[in-house]
A and B are shown apart, each in its own frame.
Chain A
Amino acid sequence: MSTVTDPLKQWENQEYKYGFVTDIESETVPPGLNEDVIRMISAKKNEPAWLTEWRLKAYRHWQKMEQPDWHNVNIAPIDYQAISYYSAPKSKKDGPKSLDEVDPKLLETYEKLGIPLHERAALAGVAVDAVFDSVSVATTFKDKLHKLGIIFCSFSEAVREHPELVRKYLGSVVPYSDNFFATLNSAVFSDGSFVYIPKGVQCPMELSTYFRINAAQTGQFERTLIIADEGAQVSYLEGCTAPMRDENQLHAAVVELVALDDAKIKYSTIQNWYPGDENGVGGIYNFVTKRGKCQGRNSHISWTQVETGSSITWKYPSCILIGDNSVGEFYSVALTNKRQQADTGTKMIHIGKNTRSYIISKGISAGQGQNTYRGQVRINKGAENARNFTQCDSMLIGDKCGAHTFPYIEVKNSTAHMEHEATTSKIGEDQMFYCNQRGIDTEDAVGMIVNGFCKEVFRELPMEFAVEAQKLLEVSLEGSVG
């Protein structure tokens, strides 16, 4: 006779908000991968011979490699010959010279995504590079940044305008032979963002790239390279969305960061690729290699990621701490709902003296999601007085999901200080009831509890995006219980 039904069961699945398709004429190469396709991509971008060669070297190496299988995710077999490696919205010229030349349909797409590209409408204090499928379609506030000597442009433009910088740093952090997905990217990467902050300059605004996959059956292989010269500082943010499609789409990006003496790079990601439906159909394979090199003394690289989308996430933003007194940080919230899988974490490689690293990972599993933290902390022989603190917390919502933790710690210098803390918790029925009894409905209560759980990470995000991240988490959690 009890008439009180389980409030958690009253939740309904929420549609993915960004799942629309832009109807725009695209130039897409036929599926398949061979040296001709790579030459074609390189030719389309008028790349110098050294870069074409670099791509081919990567491709030849990739052919000898096998897709890794050490991760804790199930990947359906990928037919690399069925993917199209280049797709760009058709335009009259190589690329728009100014925002006025950008196809209105593209501007509309970004409006719809909440990223207005007109500078007068743009978020104050945020410069955006918009990447649509394989190409960058617009970059805002370029002139303002240029006056400070800051270079913020698409990768293709950087190859044309600043070949010496690209040549010096491309592959210097993630070599072309690094791993299966990074090597594939090195061969076929199409566009991405390039940032150079000159000596002693603090970038006065947030730089951000907004990645959008639109075309079907294409992969997105962008490449981002950020260099902070001596004493420079920059905060960079990337966001990602894609239409809802029944097939899995591959996104294999590479991000390289280089921080010289006393430089600081803060890199934040809000990843909301289409996660697939509740039966696990469709969604993005997000296989990304991100690595930062703290090359200079007192340099500082900080990764913050909020990973809520993608059917599979496979990424380990890492820091190589070469310079003495350098600092690496990794703050992560990874949420898996429905049938999403995530295998994510970080690597902190301590090489210099007095290097410090700090890892805070928050994994949330709901629905039938599987969430794995995988982290490596290595203290090399010469890394005197290195310190690491790792905190790795998992939260389970419901009883069909899973949380897994694989921390690897390798210490070759006895002066190291290592701390590792890990917890696993469930949203308790008692916590939910306490909130309900105070008038807060179940959906808000779950959002509140999960946001409380992630607080230490959210406070690392640039202010403009912290609120967005909280909301995104709440939306991603809807329908997660019951």
Chain B
Amino acid sequence: MLEIKNLHASVDGHEVLKGLNLTIEAGGVHSIMGPNGSGKSTLAQVLAGRETYEVTDGQILYKGKDLLEMAPEERACEGIFLAFQYPVEIPGVTNSYFLKSALNSIRKYRGEDELDAVEFLKLVREKMKTVELDERLLNRAINEGFSGGEKKRNEIFQMAVLEPTMAILDETDSGLDIDALRIVAEGVNQLRGPERSFLVITHYQRLLNYIVPDHVHVLVDGRIVRSGGKELALELEDKGYSWLEEAATA
């Protein structure tokens, strides 16, 4: 599904990713953990195609295609979805109008018929239930006046509607209380399937109690320094990151 080879990327001239290698198979759920500033969010933004992050070396293959050649909207249409750490507000544009435009441009790209208002409403009503989101949020401007938890649930809701093949969750658990965390995780788990891969970026092991990963990778100073199964997360919870940071710089 996704193959990252020797990825180097910088922001404002500072190199953040320094030769990252990672392969995610179809249906796999991978978690990336790591201390602040290790490059977790940079990886998410680079995968989604944000231009403020400059890729200086390396290669990313997605479904066998060169991902770095694609514009962000093309990547989205090809099935890459990023659940943002800080979802933006867009005044005056309703959540439902936005999501309908997104869904229909993806459908159009795939050569599918666009959904009309009735079909769309039926679909979103069904999907809203999975994240227990209030239907009234559909007609509010995107993320405007949403609580922190609502914003994050809205991201997962959008994911459920757009049905990506490669979903990247950038610290979706930050700022969530335990109930919201459970709802978000439940939404994600319902979407797990053999054709859909996940990259779950998080600081804390807590989220991984709910979204149980197949693989856990530890990112330190722009490189993956250790990979393992879900038990690695528990070990990190116990010991912190410092022992790996020391090992990385040694």
A and B bound?
yes
B72→A436 contact, CB < 8 A: yes
A452→B88 contact, CB < 8 A: no
Closest to A436 in B: B72
B88→A434 contact, CB < 8 A: yes
A2-B55, A7-B71 given; A439·B90 CB < 8 A: no
Cα–Cα distance between A4 and B69 once the two chains are bound (Å): 6
Query: Could you give, for residues 39-54 of chain B, a 1 whenever the CB lies within 8 Å of some chain A CB and a 0 otherwise?
Result: 0000000001111101
Cα–Cα distance between A7 and B74 once the two chains are bound (Å): 11
A-B contact pairs, 13 of them (CB 8 A): A1-B56, A2-B54, A2-B68, A4-B49, A433-B72, A436-B71, A437-B81, A437-B84, A438-B98, A439-B77, A439-B106, A440-B73, A448-B90
**Which of A44-52, A102-110, A423-431 touches B?**
A423-431
* Residues from 1 to 26 in A contacting B, C-beta threshold 8 Å: 1-7
B91→A7 contact, CB < 8 A: no
How big is the B interface, by class?
35 or more
Any B CB within 8 A of the CB of A455: yes
Any A CB within 8 A of the CB of B146: no
Closest to B50 in A: A433
Contacts of B92 in A (CB 8 A): 451-456
A437-B72, A452-B141 given; A1·B51 CB < 8 A: no
Contacts of A161 in B (CB 8 A): none
Question: Distance in Å from the Cβ of B56 to the closest Cβ of chain A?
Answer: 6
Question: Distance in Å from the Cβ of B4 to the closest Cβ of chain A?
Answer: 14
What are the 10 tightest A-B residue pairs by CB atom distance, in nearest-first order? A452-B92, A452-B93, A438-B102, A436-B72, A439-B76, A439-B106, A455-B92, A436-B73, A2-B54, A439-B105
Cα–Cα distance between A439 and B49 once the two chains are bound (Å): 12
* Residues from 390 to 404 in A contacting B, C-beta threshold 8 Å: none
Closest to A448 in B: B93
Closest to A454 in B: B92
Q: Which of B55, B101, B106 has the most CB of A within 10 A?
A: B101
14 more contacts with CB within 8 A, not counting A5-B51, A448-B98, are A4-B51, A428-B88, A430-B88, A431-B90, A433-B48, A435-B102, A436-B73, A437-B82, A438-B99, A438-B162, A439-B109, A440-B105, A444-B101, A448-B101
Contacts of A431 in B (CB 8 A): 88, 90
A2-B56, A438-B162 given; A444·B105 CB < 8 A: yes
Question: Distance in Å from the Cβ of A430 to the closest Cβ of chain B?
Answer: 5
Contacts of A455 in B (CB 8 A): 92
Question: Distance in Å from the Cβ of B159 to the closest Cβ of chain A?
Answer: 10
* Chain A interface residues (CB < 8 Å from chain B): 1-7, 428-431, 433-442, 444, 448-449, 451-456
B52→A441 contact, CB < 8 A: no
Cα–Cα distance between A5 and B109 once the two chains are bound (Å): 20
A452→B91 contact, CB < 8 A: yes
B51→A437 contact, CB < 8 A: no
Contacts of B96 in A (CB 8 A): none
Closest to B77 in A: A439
Any A CB within 8 A of the CB of B87: yes
A1→B57 contact, CB < 8 A: yes
Any A CB within 8 A of the CB of B31: no
A4-B51, A4-B71 given; A440·B56 CB < 8 A: no
**Residue of A3, A7, A428 touching B73 (CB-CB under 8 A):** A7
**Residue of B51, B54, B73 touching A441 (CB-CB under 8 A):** B73
Question: Distance in Å from the Cβ of A439 to the closest Cβ of chain B?
Answer: 4
Any A CB within 8 A of the CB of B172: no
Contacts of B68 in A (CB 8 A): 2-4
Any A CB within 8 A of the CB of B158: yes
A4→B91 contact, CB < 8 A: no
A439→B102 contact, CB < 8 A: yes
Give the secondary structure class of A's interface: helix
Cα–Cα distance between A433 and B73 once the two chains are bound (Å): 9
Closest to B51 in A: A4
Cα–Cα distance between A437 and B70 once the two chains are bound (Å): 12
Cα–Cα distance between A153 and B30 once the two chains are bound (Å): 72
Contacts of A5 in B (CB 8 A): 51, 71
**Residue of A6, A438, A451, A456 touching B76 (CB-CB under 8 A):** A438
Question: Distance in Å from the Cβ of A112 to the closest Cβ of chain B?
Answer: 29
* Residues from 76 to 124 in B contacting A, C-beta threshold 8 Å: 76-77, 81-82, 84, 87-88, 90-93, 97-99, 101-103, 105-106, 109
Cα–Cα distance between A435 and B82 once the two chains are bound (Å): 11
Question: Distance in Å from the Cβ of A437 to the closest Cβ of chain B?
Answer: 5
Cα–Cα distance between A437 and B80 once the two chains are bound (Å): 8
A433-B50, A452-B90 given; A441·B105 CB < 8 A: yes
A434-B90, A448-B101 given; A429·B52 CB < 8 A: yes
Contacts of B48 in A (CB 8 A): 433, 437
Q: Which of A7, A429, A436 has the most CB of B within 10 A?
A: A436
A434-B87, A449-B90 given; A439·B71 CB < 8 A: no
B88→A439 contact, CB < 8 A: no
Contacts of A2 in B (CB 8 A): 51, 54-56, 68
Q: Which of B76, B82, B97, B109 has the most CB of A within 10 A?
A: B76
Cα–Cα distance between A6 and B49 once the two chains are bound (Å): 11
Question: Distance in Å from the Cβ of A469 to the closest Cβ of chain B?
Answer: 14
Contacts of A438 in B (CB 8 A): 76, 98-99, 102, 158, 162
Question: Distance in Å from the Cβ of A2 to the closest Cβ of chain B?
Answer: 5
Contacts of A430 in B (CB 8 A): 88
A2-B68, A6-B51, A440-B101 given; A449·B93 CB < 8 A: yes
A453→B82 contact, CB < 8 A: no
Q: Which of A2, A431, A449, A451 has the most CB of B within 10 A?
A: A2
Contacts of B87 in A (CB 8 A): 434
Question: Distance in Å from the Cβ of B173 to the closest Cβ of chain A?
Answer: 20
Question: Distance in Å from the Cβ of B141 to the closest Cβ of chain A?
Answer: 7
Question: Distance in Å from the Cβ of B124 to the closest Cβ of chain A?
Answer: 14
Cα–Cα distance between A5 and B72 once the two chains are bound (Å): 10
Closest to B68 in A: A3
Cα–Cα distance between A456 and B141 once the two chains are bound (Å): 13
Question: Distance in Å from the Cβ of A178 to the closest Cβ of chain B?
Answer: 36
Cα–Cα distance between A441 and B77 once the two chains are bound (Å): 10
* Residues from 158 to 197 in B contacting A, C-beta threshold 8 Å: 158, 162
Q: Which of A1, A7, A453 has the most CB of B within 10 A?
A: A1
